[in-house]
Amino acid sequence: SSWYDRARDYWEKKDATVSGMLDGYDAVSAVDLEASLCFLDKVKTLPAYKGGSCRFNYALDCGAGIGRVTKGCLLHRFQQVDMVEPMERFCRSAPDFVASERLKDIFQQPLQEFSPSKKYDCIWLQWCILYLTDADLIDLLKRCSAALTDGGVICVKENIGELGFEIDKQDNSIMRTDKHYKQLFRQAGMRLLLDMRQPNFPKSLFPVNMYCLRPLDANPAGQPENAETT
């Protein structure tokens, strides 16, 4: 069976609710969304490609589920949002849950097969790339990179393992270290612009990091190479 069957079977059993999306940890949703909004506000202040500020018009929410992040974060900062989500049930629930005509297209497709079209100012990947193999993750980042507008960014928000590489046999999710992720970002031709730890999560949960990436060839003139870390 394919590597991805286990994740699909795992999510088949989950309710199309916020609690289902967060595996029962719905109490962290507000704290998560608040930190993501703060992170995007920092991203907005970064120098954009060829001067000017980052445009915040069109975002893509990847592995979006029913649209928790679209509704609670992205639609508060972007004019329009598309979603991509592999599970048909979640895609069907999303329009009613998000309840906004600014949610445009919903693509039902696995991320490892998805090729976004070139129109996004921000592509948001949260709690979804932990299901991808290293090779598929690098390929996805390259495809996302090609789908960005000038000055566009990719934002990754993901669990971070402190002790090295681990695989959860329940759903084949991969726990990667901060160092491992940064290595994969480099291999995908991305530059790290900003790097932030999610604050105020319960100690029982894994640490979560947020990364803002831009293609290496999109460095504004005279901008330093090093990322700002908070």
Question: Which residue spans within the chain are E strands per DSSP?
Answer: 58-62, 80-84, 103-107, 120-126, 148-159, 166-168, 173-175, 190-197, 208-215, 228-229
For residue 117, the tally of other CB atoms under 10 A from its CB is 10
68 is in an annotated binding site: yes
Q: Are 167 and 143 in contact (CB under 8 A)?
A: no
Which H/E stretch holds residue 93?
A: helix 88-98
Q: Are 107 and 82 in contact (CB under 8 A)?
A: yes
CA-to-CA distance for 58 and 121, rounded, in angstroms? 5
Cα separations in angstroms, 182 against 25, 51, 147, 205: 27, 26, 21, 21
79 is in an annotated binding site: no
140 is in an annotated binding site: no
CA 133, 108, 27 angle in degrees (round to 5)?
Answer: 75
194 is in an annotated binding site: no
183 is in an annotated binding site: no
Binding residues for S-adenosyl-L-methionine: 63, 68, 111-112, 126
Binding residues: 63, 68, 111-112, 126
